[in-house]
Amino acid sequence: MIKQKQRELISLLIRSKNGYKSSQELATELSLSDRTVRTYLKDLKTLIENNGGNIISKQGYGFQLEIVDRTIFNLFLIEHHLLDKNVEQSKCREASERKHYILNLLLLESQKIDVETLSEQFFISSSQLNKDIAEIKSQLQPYELTLKKSRSLIYVDGEEKAKRHFIMSYFFHEDSINFLHHLSYFNQTCEVISFDTLTIIILDECREANIKLSDVMIQNIVLHLSLSIKRLQSGLTIQNLDLPLSSDSTLEYQVAKRIIARIESIIGFHFPKEEQMYLTLHLMSKSNLIQDNEDGELGSSLAGLLLKIQQETGYPFWHDEQLKNGLIQHIKPMLVRLEQNIKLENPLLDEIKSQYGEVFGLVKRYVNQLPNLNKYDVNDDEWGYLALHFLASIEKLKNEQKAKVLIICATGLGSAQLLKNRVESEFDERLKIVATRGYYEIDQDMLNDIDFIISSVDLSSKVFKVPVFHVSVFFCEEDVQAIRRYLSYRQTPCSLPKIGLPIDDKKQNHSKYLAQVFDEIAADYFDLFKKKPTKQVVLDHLLDSLSVNEAKNFKQEMKKQMDKRMSIGEIIFSPTIVVPHPAIPVGKIAKIAIAIIPKGLCWDEHYQDIKFVFMISPSIYQNSNLAMMTKAIVNLIDDLAMQQAMLKISDFNQFKSLFIQLIEKGA
């Protein structure tokens, strides 16, 4: 049996697995003696070695955890509850997941939180957690909600209406519950009543009654009610439902009654009492916080099962916390049905079997291995309901893998909508449109989480750290093919092109043309800094180079416009690459001044090892060849092998031959 302090020691080693920790450092963090830590490490060494890991000891450095077999090691963590869902260790290490979890506690479960307790739970410092809370404050501010403190506890203060508005926009956006819209067999239900309407009704009634439900619980009830409506439309009803008569007097029954009444007024037909009683059962099982231990046991069994499915089939279900929680909340009332022999017919069964037979078979084959279920004779209707959760997980995964796109148009809303509709029509399965904006509405926040830009405005005088596709507002076939080529290329990792392969004359001529163009744009404005320079020295040197044959005030105007560009968005494209350029063109000729700095340059306190500075000066007249140059710079960001090769060059010609390879790769 592993002791609690040994668990904490393993967790510390996991968090610092990329570096060494001395026994004294570990002892300080665990409030133990150095000798006790060494004893624990000695005791754990064999256990960890037998379960896919290794504790490395290096004199003068300390101890480090090496994971030899990730699969076996994960099973070990699950078996010893070191990935326990109830403490949210695995779920909440990433900042976005921590914030989601905190908002769930504050708003859906109406809890007050203690920062110190949560920081221990998440294994992070209080200062880091306070940064997350500061970001949460910013998210709440537009809804006129604030975070307040009572003693050591933090809570959300504001009108209930504002809280519900935030809950709907944050927890139930298209990436969560609305992904079910993509599943074709829900279409008929959605025509009668939308998922959004069902969510609002459940949210209203449960919050009025102070029934605390998480986002996953609410989504499960929405799914249940959608299926109930589908069953009633198909003439099917619940059989043999035998709940105690005392259920009629419970708070959950009264809430279920109000929810059903509101739904009936919209859909135009009545729910039988059995359906109302069954909704009561759902609310009772979901609002009962005493069952945490049972949920923990079921969660551990499910985690092991999902990991097994992932290992044997490749479906990445193990990392989907929403799937795990959804299954737990579905299986609890399902166990009541199985225990009482309640038959719940599934009107979607034939459709699921015919269209998603592989997933249905997978669910039936694996989920039957759960200790909670293997003693029952589970029918296909029940397997069909469980399959919906797995199908929703697959659909969500597809959505997450889509490239995220920002569409930019001039100012007309009509033209923006036209372009958006055409892009969706061509690439609905492969692209996710994050936003549609006018040219003057672009800001840095929009650019942080997108993969590329589709613009009907010529942005060749601007440089972004993602590719930009300049297209017609009518999105013609040539535009479509350009994006298709990029998406195909995007799936292949960047690497140095192979040298020495035979090339045909056409390609050779094209390479000569590119070399000529690059000479015109960059040859006279290139410098290799063999010593470590200052930022100001490099900027002044590049500006002086670009000033040749330009107006007298060129340098001053370039500085002014570069400052403006920095206020619009970031010019640091990676830890090693910076691309200063003006907000609007200043010069007569399109040029790129390039500084290669093998020993690195300190740009600011956050970026202290800049190796490449590309200062771009677009022309006030035309920039026909500048776009392919900037696209090559964007390609360089992720091509670390190419960066290393460029840092070894000794003159412009060597740099040019490598840079042309980047241009050809993006052509």
At the topology level, CATH places domain 4-82 in: Arc Repressor Mutant, subunit A (1.10.10)
Which residues in the chain are classed under CATH 3.40.930.10?
505-666
- Considering only 112-116, 567-571, 600-604, which range has the smallest mean pLDDT? 567-571
What is the reported pLDDT for 222? 84
Q: In whole angstroms, give the CA distance from residue 41 to residue 8.
A: 12
What is the reported pLDDT for 115? 84
Task: Spell 433-456 as b/e; 16+ CB within 10 A means b.
Answer: bbebbeeeebeeebbeebbbbbbb
Which residues in the chain are classed under CATH 1.10.10.10?
4-82, 89-159
Give every CB contact of residue 607 below 8 A, 6+ residues apart in sequence: 572, 575, 578
Do 52 and 72 touch, CB atoms closer than 8 A?
yes
> pLDDT tens-digit profile of 103-118?
888 988 888 898 888 8
Average pLDDT of the residues in 587-600: 90
CATH class of 505-666: alpha beta
Average pLDDT of the residues in 647-655: 92
Average pLDDT of the residues in 183-191: 51
Closest to 178 (Cα-Cα) out of 406, 422, 396: 396
**Residue 113: strand pairing partners:** 154
Average pLDDT of the residues in 564-591: 82
Average pLDDT of the residues in 561-581: 81
CATH 3.50.40.10 is right for the domain spanning 89-159: no
- The radius of gyration computed from the CA coordinates of the chain, to the nearest angstrom, equals 30
What is the reported pLDDT for 97? 72
> pLDDT tens-digit profile of 396-447?
777 667 788 888 886 555 566 778 888 888 887 678 888 887 766 666 666 7
Higher-scoring residue by pLDDT: 4, 304: 304
Write the CA distances from 523 to 323, 402, 594, 595, integer angstroms. Answer: 56, 39, 9, 12
Q: Provide the terminal-to-terminal Cα distance of the chain, rounded to the nearest Å.
A: 60
> pLDDT tens-digit profile of 68-85?
876 677 777 766 656 543
Higher-scoring residue by pLDDT: 624, 41: 41
Higher-scoring residue by pLDDT: 462, 316: 316
Which residues in the chain are classed under CATH 1.10.1790?
291-396
Do 75 and 114 touch, CB atoms closer than 8 A?
no
CATH architecture under which domain 402-490 falls = 3-Layer(aba) Sandwich (3.40)
Q: In whole angstroms, give the CA distance from residue 201 to residue 262.
A: 7
Write the CA distances from 507 to 311, 504, 573, 618, 629, integer angstroms. Answer: 45, 6, 30, 28, 18
Q: Which secondary-structure segment (H or E) carries 433?
A: strand 431-438
CATH architecture under which domain 291-396 falls = Orthogonal Bundle (1.10)
Q: pTM for the whole thing?
A: 0.51
Residue 52 confidence (pLDDT) above 70: yes
Residue 448 confidence (pLDDT) above 50: yes
